Structure 1
Amino acid sequence: MELSSKISVSFFFFFFLFALIANAQDSPQDYVNAHNAARSQVGVPNIAWDDNVAAFAQNYANQRKADCQLVHSGGGGKYGENLAWSSGDMSGVDAVKMWVDEKAFYDYNSNSCAAGKQCGHYTQVVWKNSVRVGCAKVKCNNGGTFIGCNYSPPGNFNGQRPY
Protein backbone atom coordinates (compact mmCIF):
# COMPACT_ATOMS: atom_id res chain seq x y z
CA MET A 1 0.00 0.00 0.00
CA GLU A 2 1.46 3.33 -0.97
CA LEU A 3 1.92 6.14 1.54
CA SER A 4 -0.96 8.32 0.30
CA SER A 5 -3.37 5.38 0.59
CA LYS A 6 -2.15 4.65 4.11
CA ILE A 7 -2.63 8.29 5.05
CA SER A 8 -6.14 8.28 3.57
CA VAL A 9 -7.09 5.12 5.45
CA SER A 10 -5.63 6.49 8.68
CA PHE A 11 -7.42 9.80 8.16
CA PHE A 12 -10.74 8.03 7.55
CA PHE A 13 -10.27 5.80 10.60
CA PHE A 14 -9.48 8.81 12.82
CA PHE A 15 -12.66 10.64 11.82
CA PHE A 16 -14.77 7.48 12.12
CA LEU A 17 -13.42 6.93 15.63
CA PHE A 18 -13.97 10.61 16.50
CA ALA A 19 -17.61 10.36 15.33
CA LEU A 20 -18.16 7.32 17.51
CA ILE A 21 -16.67 9.02 20.55
CA ALA A 22 -18.62 12.24 19.92
CA ASN A 23 -21.89 10.29 19.97
CA ALA A 24 -20.92 8.22 22.99
CA GLN A 25 -23.15 8.58 26.02
CA ASP A 26 -26.07 10.00 24.04
CA SER A 27 -27.97 6.84 23.10
CA PRO A 28 -31.38 6.07 24.59
CA GLN A 29 -29.78 3.28 26.61
CA ASP A 30 -27.12 5.67 27.95
CA TYR A 31 -29.82 8.04 29.24
CA VAL A 32 -31.83 5.14 30.73
CA ASN A 33 -28.78 3.61 32.41
CA ALA A 34 -27.80 6.93 33.98
CA HIS A 35 -31.33 7.42 35.33
CA ASN A 36 -31.62 3.86 36.60
CA ALA A 37 -28.29 4.01 38.42
CA ALA A 38 -29.66 6.89 40.52
CA ARG A 39 -33.06 5.25 40.94
CA SER A 40 -31.54 1.98 42.17
CA GLN A 41 -29.65 3.86 44.90
CA VAL A 42 -32.97 4.76 46.53
CA GLY A 43 -34.87 1.55 45.73
CA VAL A 44 -37.01 2.99 42.93
CA PRO A 45 -37.96 0.71 40.01
CA ASN A 46 -36.26 1.23 36.67
CA ILE A 47 -37.45 3.80 34.17
CA ALA A 48 -37.87 2.82 30.51
CA TRP A 49 -37.28 4.69 27.26
CA ASP A 50 -40.41 5.82 25.45
CA ASP A 51 -40.24 6.91 21.81
CA ASN A 52 -43.30 9.16 22.14
CA VAL A 53 -41.83 10.99 25.11
CA ALA A 54 -38.51 11.23 23.23
CA ALA A 55 -40.29 12.72 20.21
CA PHE A 56 -41.77 15.42 22.47
CA ALA A 57 -38.29 16.10 23.92
CA GLN A 58 -36.73 16.27 20.45
CA ASN A 59 -39.41 18.61 19.13
CA TYR A 60 -38.86 20.99 22.03
CA ALA A 61 -35.06 20.76 21.84
CA ASN A 62 -35.27 21.69 18.15
CA GLN A 63 -37.19 24.84 19.16
CA ARG A 64 -34.35 25.82 21.52
CA LYS A 65 -31.58 25.54 18.86
CA ALA A 66 -31.81 29.23 18.04
CA ASP A 67 -31.20 30.51 21.58
CA CYS A 68 -30.25 27.52 23.77
CA GLN A 69 -32.16 29.09 26.68
CA LEU A 70 -33.26 27.01 29.65
CA VAL A 71 -36.96 27.74 29.25
CA HIS A 72 -39.31 24.91 30.19
CA SER A 73 -41.76 23.67 27.60
CA GLY A 74 -44.55 23.14 30.10
CA GLY A 75 -44.54 19.46 29.16
CA GLY A 76 -47.74 19.77 27.21
CA GLY A 77 -49.44 19.25 30.55
CA LYS A 78 -48.47 15.60 30.61
CA TYR A 79 -44.68 15.44 31.09
CA GLY A 80 -42.16 16.33 33.73
CA GLU A 81 -38.99 17.93 32.40
CA ASN A 82 -35.32 18.41 33.18
CA LEU A 83 -33.16 20.72 31.07
CA ALA A 84 -29.42 21.24 30.81
CA TRP A 85 -27.20 23.63 28.88
CA SER A 86 -23.50 23.87 28.20
CA SER A 87 -21.52 26.50 26.32
CA GLY A 88 -19.69 23.66 24.56
CA ASP A 89 -20.41 19.98 24.13
CA MET A 90 -22.07 17.96 26.88
CA SER A 91 -23.14 14.34 26.80
CA GLY A 92 -26.55 13.14 27.86
CA VAL A 93 -24.92 11.12 30.62
CA ASP A 94 -23.18 14.28 31.88
CA ALA A 95 -26.52 16.09 31.98
CA VAL A 96 -28.15 13.31 34.00
CA LYS A 97 -25.13 13.26 36.33
CA MET A 98 -25.49 17.01 36.86
CA TRP A 99 -29.14 16.52 37.86
CA VAL A 100 -28.34 13.54 40.09
CA ASP A 101 -25.58 15.52 41.82
CA GLU A 102 -28.36 17.67 43.32
CA LYS A 103 -29.03 14.71 45.64
CA ALA A 104 -26.53 16.32 48.03
CA PHE A 105 -29.02 19.17 48.53
CA TYR A 106 -32.16 17.05 49.00
CA ASP A 107 -33.39 16.20 52.51
CA TYR A 108 -35.82 13.28 52.37
CA ASN A 109 -37.11 13.79 55.93
CA SER A 110 -38.19 17.38 55.32
CA ASN A 111 -38.80 16.71 51.60
CA SER A 112 -37.01 19.93 50.76
CA CYS A 113 -33.85 21.36 49.24
CA ALA A 114 -31.09 22.99 51.23
CA ALA A 115 -31.48 26.76 51.47
CA GLY A 116 -30.50 28.46 48.23
CA LYS A 117 -29.94 25.16 46.40
CA GLN A 118 -31.79 23.28 43.67
CA CYS A 119 -32.77 19.65 43.97
CA GLY A 120 -35.89 19.37 41.80
CA HIS A 121 -33.99 17.90 38.87
CA TYR A 122 -32.78 15.10 41.14
CA THR A 123 -36.23 14.41 42.56
CA GLN A 124 -37.65 14.17 39.03
CA VAL A 125 -34.95 11.65 38.04
CA VAL A 126 -35.88 9.41 41.00
CA TRP A 127 -39.64 10.13 41.07
CA LYS A 128 -41.11 6.66 41.67
CA ASN A 129 -44.25 7.12 39.57
CA SER A 130 -42.36 8.46 36.55
CA VAL A 131 -41.79 5.22 34.64
CA ARG A 132 -41.05 6.44 31.09
CA VAL A 133 -38.40 8.86 29.85
CA GLY A 134 -37.40 10.39 26.55
CA CYS A 135 -34.46 12.71 25.99
CA ALA A 136 -32.98 14.83 23.23
CA LYS A 137 -29.82 16.79 22.56
CA VAL A 138 -29.19 19.57 20.06
CA LYS A 139 -26.22 21.70 19.12
CA CYS A 140 -27.37 25.31 19.36
CA ASN A 141 -26.65 28.06 16.86
CA ASN A 142 -24.35 29.72 19.42
CA GLY A 143 -22.21 26.57 19.68
CA GLY A 144 -23.75 25.45 22.96
CA THR A 145 -25.55 22.23 23.75
CA PHE A 146 -29.15 21.91 24.92
CA ILE A 147 -30.37 18.67 26.50
CA GLY A 148 -33.87 17.92 27.68
CA CYS A 149 -35.43 14.85 29.25
CA ASN A 150 -39.17 14.46 29.68
CA TYR A 151 -40.87 12.10 32.11
CA SER A 152 -44.21 10.31 32.11
CA PRO A 153 -46.12 10.57 34.25
CA PRO A 154 -44.64 13.82 35.57
CA GLY A 155 -43.20 14.10 39.07
CA ASN A 156 -42.37 16.83 41.56
CA PHE A 157 -45.81 17.33 43.06
CA ASN A 158 -45.84 19.70 46.04
CA GLY A 159 -46.13 17.89 49.34
CA GLN A 160 -45.26 14.48 47.87
CA ARG A 161 -41.98 12.65 48.31
CA PRO A 162 -40.30 11.24 45.21
CA TYR A 163 -40.06 7.72 46.68
Structure 2
Amino acid sequence: MEIHKKFAHSILLLFVVLATSQYSCQAQNSPQDYVDAHNAARAQVQVGPIAWDDNVAAFAQSYANQRIGDCNLVHSGNKQYGENIAWGTDLTGQAAVDMWVSEKPNYDYSSNSCVGGSQCLHYTQVVWRNSVRLGCASVQCSNGSWFVTCNYDPPGNYIDQRPY
Protein backbone atom coordinates (compact mmCIF):
# COMPACT_ATOMS: atom_id res chain seq x y z
CA MET A 1 0.00 0.00 0.00
CA GLU A 2 2.80 2.42 0.92
CA ILE A 3 4.56 1.78 -2.41
CA HIS A 4 1.38 2.60 -4.33
CA LYS A 5 1.05 5.86 -2.39
CA LYS A 6 4.65 6.84 -3.19
CA PHE A 7 4.12 5.92 -6.83
CA ALA A 8 0.92 7.99 -6.97
CA HIS A 9 2.71 10.95 -5.37
CA SER A 10 5.58 10.58 -7.85
CA ILE A 11 3.17 10.58 -10.79
CA LEU A 12 1.37 13.61 -9.38
CA LEU A 13 4.67 15.44 -8.88
CA LEU A 14 5.76 14.61 -12.42
CA PHE A 15 2.46 15.92 -13.78
CA VAL A 16 2.82 19.18 -11.81
CA VAL A 17 6.40 19.68 -13.01
CA LEU A 18 5.47 19.07 -16.64
CA ALA A 19 2.39 21.27 -16.44
CA THR A 20 4.24 24.15 -14.81
CA SER A 21 7.23 23.91 -17.15
CA GLN A 22 4.85 24.34 -20.09
CA TYR A 23 3.23 27.28 -18.29
CA SER A 24 6.53 28.90 -17.35
CA CYS A 25 7.68 28.80 -20.96
CA GLN A 26 4.54 30.64 -22.03
CA ALA A 27 4.23 32.83 -18.93
CA GLN A 28 6.05 35.68 -20.67
CA ASN A 29 3.99 35.82 -23.84
CA SER A 30 1.11 38.11 -22.89
CA PRO A 31 0.57 41.27 -24.93
CA GLN A 32 1.69 43.33 -21.94
CA ASP A 33 4.92 41.30 -21.65
CA TYR A 34 5.79 42.10 -25.26
CA VAL A 35 4.87 45.78 -24.88
CA ASP A 36 6.83 46.15 -21.63
CA ALA A 37 9.95 44.55 -23.11
CA HIS A 38 9.80 46.84 -26.15
CA ASN A 39 9.09 49.96 -24.11
CA ALA A 40 11.99 49.28 -21.74
CA ALA A 41 14.38 49.30 -24.72
CA ARG A 42 12.71 52.34 -26.26
CA ALA A 43 12.91 54.30 -22.99
CA GLN A 44 16.69 53.73 -22.88
CA VAL A 45 17.01 55.88 -26.01
CA GLN A 46 14.20 58.33 -25.17
CA VAL A 47 11.77 56.92 -27.73
CA GLY A 48 8.07 57.08 -26.91
CA PRO A 49 6.11 53.96 -26.03
CA ILE A 50 4.71 51.44 -28.44
CA ALA A 51 1.16 50.11 -27.95
CA TRP A 52 -0.43 46.73 -28.59
CA ASP A 53 -2.65 46.58 -31.67
CA ASP A 54 -5.06 43.68 -32.17
CA ASN A 55 -4.98 43.98 -35.97
CA VAL A 56 -1.19 43.78 -36.08
CA ALA A 57 -1.32 40.91 -33.57
CA ALA A 58 -3.81 39.05 -35.78
CA PHE A 59 -1.37 39.29 -38.67
CA ALA A 60 1.48 38.07 -36.44
CA GLN A 61 -0.60 35.12 -35.22
CA SER A 62 -1.65 34.20 -38.75
CA TYR A 63 1.95 34.16 -39.91
CA ALA A 64 3.21 32.31 -36.82
CA ASN A 65 0.59 29.63 -37.46
CA GLN A 66 2.12 29.12 -40.92
CA ARG A 67 5.48 28.29 -39.30
CA ILE A 68 4.16 25.54 -37.00
CA GLY A 69 5.16 22.78 -39.41
CA ASP A 70 8.80 23.79 -39.79
CA CYS A 71 9.73 26.66 -37.41
CA ASN A 72 11.97 28.05 -40.17
CA LEU A 73 13.27 31.58 -39.73
CA VAL A 74 11.62 32.91 -42.86
CA HIS A 75 10.12 36.39 -42.97
CA SER A 76 6.51 36.76 -44.04
CA GLY A 77 7.37 39.00 -46.98
CA ASN A 78 4.62 41.43 -45.96
CA LYS A 79 5.62 45.06 -46.60
CA GLN A 80 2.80 46.62 -44.57
CA TYR A 81 4.52 45.86 -41.25
CA GLY A 82 8.04 45.73 -39.92
CA GLU A 83 8.94 42.30 -38.60
CA ASN A 84 11.28 40.57 -36.20
CA ILE A 85 11.33 36.79 -35.93
CA ALA A 86 13.08 34.35 -33.62
CA TRP A 87 13.23 30.63 -33.02
CA GLY A 88 14.43 28.53 -30.11
CA THR A 89 13.72 25.85 -27.58
CA ASP A 90 11.78 27.16 -24.58
CA LEU A 91 11.79 30.63 -26.20
CA THR A 92 9.41 33.11 -24.61
CA GLY A 93 8.34 36.40 -26.11
CA GLN A 94 10.38 38.22 -23.48
CA ALA A 95 13.48 36.20 -24.39
CA ALA A 96 12.98 36.92 -28.10
CA VAL A 97 12.72 40.67 -27.48
CA ASP A 98 15.78 40.49 -25.21
CA MET A 99 17.67 38.73 -28.01
CA TRP A 100 16.78 41.49 -30.49
CA VAL A 101 17.66 44.22 -27.99
CA SER A 102 21.01 42.53 -27.29
CA GLU A 103 22.08 43.81 -30.73
CA LYS A 104 22.18 47.37 -29.32
CA PRO A 105 26.01 47.44 -28.99
CA ASN A 106 26.24 46.59 -32.69
CA TYR A 107 24.42 49.79 -33.71
CA ASP A 108 26.49 52.95 -34.21
CA TYR A 109 24.23 55.99 -34.10
CA SER A 110 26.76 58.42 -35.59
CA SER A 111 27.21 56.36 -38.76
CA ASN A 112 23.65 54.96 -38.59
CA SER A 113 24.98 51.50 -39.32
CA CYS A 114 25.70 48.10 -37.85
CA VAL A 115 29.36 47.89 -36.83
CA GLY A 116 31.81 45.29 -38.03
CA GLY A 117 29.30 43.42 -40.15
CA SER A 118 27.29 42.56 -37.03
CA GLN A 119 23.52 42.29 -36.96
CA CYS A 120 21.61 45.26 -35.49
CA LEU A 121 18.45 45.66 -37.57
CA HIS A 122 16.29 43.70 -35.12
CA TYR A 123 17.30 46.20 -32.43
CA THR A 124 16.67 49.24 -34.62
CA GLN A 125 13.17 47.96 -35.45
CA VAL A 126 12.39 47.55 -31.72
CA VAL A 127 13.33 51.19 -31.04
CA TRP A 128 12.15 52.73 -34.34
CA ARG A 129 10.47 55.96 -33.18
CA ASN A 130 7.75 55.99 -35.84
CA SER A 131 6.65 52.41 -35.13
CA VAL A 132 3.87 52.97 -32.61
CA ARG A 133 1.73 49.81 -32.91
CA LEU A 134 2.88 46.30 -32.08
CA GLY A 135 1.52 42.81 -32.48
CA CYS A 136 3.35 39.61 -31.57
CA ALA A 137 2.67 35.90 -31.49
CA SER A 138 4.39 32.68 -30.58
CA VAL A 139 3.67 29.09 -31.55
CA GLN A 140 5.12 25.78 -30.57
CA CYS A 141 6.25 24.06 -33.74
CA SER A 142 5.82 20.40 -34.56
CA ASN A 143 9.49 19.81 -33.65
CA GLY A 144 8.85 21.15 -30.13
CA SER A 145 10.67 24.46 -30.64
CA TRP A 146 9.06 27.89 -30.45
CA PHE A 147 8.66 30.47 -33.21
CA VAL A 148 8.13 34.10 -32.14
CA THR A 149 7.23 36.98 -34.41
CA CYS A 150 6.59 40.65 -33.70
CA ASN A 151 5.20 43.03 -36.29
CA TYR A 152 5.44 46.82 -36.23
CA ASP A 153 3.19 49.51 -37.65
CA PRO A 154 4.32 51.55 -39.37
CA PRO A 155 7.46 49.59 -40.31
CA GLY A 156 10.95 50.85 -39.58
CA ASN A 157 14.48 50.34 -40.87
CA TYR A 158 14.29 52.78 -43.76
CA ILE A 159 17.58 53.42 -45.54
CA ASP A 160 19.21 56.74 -44.59
CA GLN A 161 16.83 57.25 -41.64
CA ARG A 162 17.86 56.91 -38.02
CA PRO A 163 15.66 54.92 -35.66
CA TYR A 164 15.57 57.76 -33.09
After the TM superposition, which of the residue ranges 46-55 and 20-29 deviates more from structure 2? 20-29
CA distance in 2, matches of 1:25, 1:71: 23
Counterpart residue number, 2:161: 160
Counterpart residue number, 1:57: 60
Matched, 1:144 2:156: no
Matched, 1:129 2:137: no
- Go from structure 1 to structure 2 and tell me whether the alpha carbon gap of 1:10 and 1:67 turns closer, same or farther (over 3 Å shift): closer
CA distance in 2, matches of 1:27, 1:130: 20
Match runs of 1:1-163 below 5 Å: 17-75=20-78, 77-86=79-88, 88-163=89-164
- Go from structure 1 to structure 2 and tell me whether the alpha carbon gap of 1:5 and 1:146 turns closer, same or farther (over 3 Å shift): closer
CA distance in 2, matches of 1:74, 1:37: 28
Residue 56 of structure 2 contacts residue 133 of structure 2 at CA under 8 Å; is this kept in 1?
Answer: yes
Unaligned runs of at least 5 residues, structure 2: none
TM value normalised by structure 2: 0.88
SS of match in other structure, 1:115: helix
- Go from structure 1 to structure 2 and tell me whether the alpha carbon gap of 1:140 and 1:13 turns closer, same or farther (over 3 Å shift): closer
After the TM superposition, which of the residue ranges 151-160 and 63-72 deviates more from structure 2? 63-72
TM value normalised by structure 1: 0.89
SS of match in other structure, 2:116: coil
What is the identity percentage for the equivalent residue pairs of Structure 1 and Structure 2? 61
- Go from structure 1 to structure 2 and tell me whether the alpha carbon gap of 1:84 and 1:11 turns closer, same or farther (over 3 Å shift): closer
SS of match in other structure, 2:102: helix
Task: For 2:116, give the aligned amino acid.
Answer: A
Matched residue count: 160
